[in-house]
Chains A and B, each alone.
Chain A
Amino acid sequence: MGHILSLGASLAAFWMLLSGSISLDHKLVLGFGVASLVLSIWLAVRMDRIDGTPVSVNLRPSLIRYWIWLAKEIGKANIDVAKIVLSPKMEISPRMIRVKATQKTDVGITTFANSITLTPGTVSVDIDNDEILVHAITDEMAQGLLESDMDARVTAVEAKIR
């Protein structure tokens, strides 16, 4: 019940942000807002029953710090891929590697796989159990991913949120 209320409150705040006004003159618009709020909460509760993970808004400082670190990595990787694309010879050496994911929850593994895909040069292709199959555009990028501490960082953030 607690998380239904917090979800409702954050959804209401979000709706107010997007609509920009909450005057009672526009009863139809307000009605639509309330209706979509109820529908969203009903859907969220229904989906909880299927996958067992409650929808929660968890913006911890550690998560924000991880995003900032990830943004830097994305910037660096983008420049590397841009260099490859723009160089006349375009030296690529694609690899398919398996990276071990140490996260315990589905959300954690999804975060790690999405982070891999977000950094250009590496795309997560498949996940089986605790291994992520990754396609990398060059051998260096594959090695870079294997050596990076991205996995450890995601696990650390996950441990704090859980």
Chain B
Amino acid sequence: MQLLIDILSWGFILAGVFFVFTGTLGMLRLPDFYTRLHGAGITDTLGTELLLIAMMLQAGWSLVTVKLAMISLFIFFTSPTATHALANAANAVGLRPFGVPAKDLEPGKREKR
């Protein structure tokens, strides 16, 4: 049983590390501020959550697991808020996004749904 949990949590840790690495690579490779936010999003969501799940598996049914679940919920709520605050600030000071077609930047245009 312990072996199974160890294997599972190893899987989650490796997957988490892979996504944290991918997010970091995205931060370095992507061309501008807005697109880099998407790269950082990988680290924020899947990377962190997978690592937290792996830690919960190691901690078992204990108070530590409850605390880890709380941290995971906290990140779930705060990370998009922080990302939105960054993007909103960049937009407010008029940072032009890279590669976006000019028609998207016209004010008041509404996309058909």
Given contacts A81-B39, A114-B80, contact A97 B104 (CB under 8 A): yes
Interface centre among B19, B77, B111 (most CB of A within 10 A): B111
Compute how far the CA of A43 lies from the CA of B100 in the bound complex, rounded to whole angstroms: 43
Interface size band for B: 35 or more
CA distance A120 to B83 in the complex (A): 11
Cβ contact within 8 Å between B81 and A114:
yes
What's the Cα separation between A8 and B84 when bound, in Å? 31
B46 touches A117 (CB 8 A): no
Q: Are A95 and B113 in contact (CB under 8 A)?
A: no
In the bound complex, do residue A74 and residue B22 qualify as a contact, i.e. CB atoms below 8 Å apart?
no
Q: Distance in Å from the Cβ of B40 to the closest Cβ of chain A?
A: 9
Contacts of B42 in A (CB 8 A): 78, 81-82, 85, 120
CB interface residues, B 39-97, toward A, < 8 Å: 39, 41-42, 45-46, 63, 66-67, 70, 76-77, 79-81, 83-84, 87-88, 90-92, 97
Please state if B91 and A126 are interface contacts (CB–CB under 8 Å): yes
> Which of B63, B87, B101 is close to A17, meaning CB atoms less than 8 Å apart?
B63
Least CB distance, B43 to chain A, in whole angstroms = 9
Min CB gap A91→B, angstroms:
11
Q: Is the CB of B87 within 8 A of A135?
A: yes
Question: A144 to B97, alpha carbons, bound, how many Å?
Answer: 20
- B interface, by DSSP: helix, strand, loop or mixed? helix
Known: A113-B84, A125-B88. A78 touches B104 (CB 8 A): no
> Interface size bucket, A side?
35 or more
A20 in contact (CB, < 8 A): yes
Residues of A within 8 A of B35 (CB): 92, 94, 137
Q: Which residues of B contact A81 (CB under 8 A)?
A: 26, 38-39, 41-42
Q: Do residues A118 and B76 form an inter-chain contact, with CB atoms below 8 A?
A: yes
Shortest distance in angstroms between A71's beta carbon and chain B's nearest beta carbon?
A: 8
Known A85-B39, A96-B97; contact A117-B22, beta-carbon cutoff 8 A = no
Q: Which residues of B contact A121 (CB under 8 A)?
A: 38, 41
A90: interface (CB < 8 Å): yes
Residues on B with beta carbons closer than 8 Å to the beta carbon of A94: 34-35, 97-100
Closest residue of chain B to A133, judged by CB? B91
A151: min CB distance to chain B, Å: 9
A17 proximity list for chain B (CB < 8 A): 63, 66-67, 70
Q: Given that A120-B45, A133-B91 are contacting pairs, would A92 and B67 also be in contact in the complex, using a CB cutoff of 8 Å?
A: no
CB-CB under 8 A from B8, the residues of chain A are: none
Those 6 A-B pairs whose CB atoms lie nearest each other, nearest first:
A117-B80, A120-B41, A85-B26, A96-B104, A78-B46, A114-B80
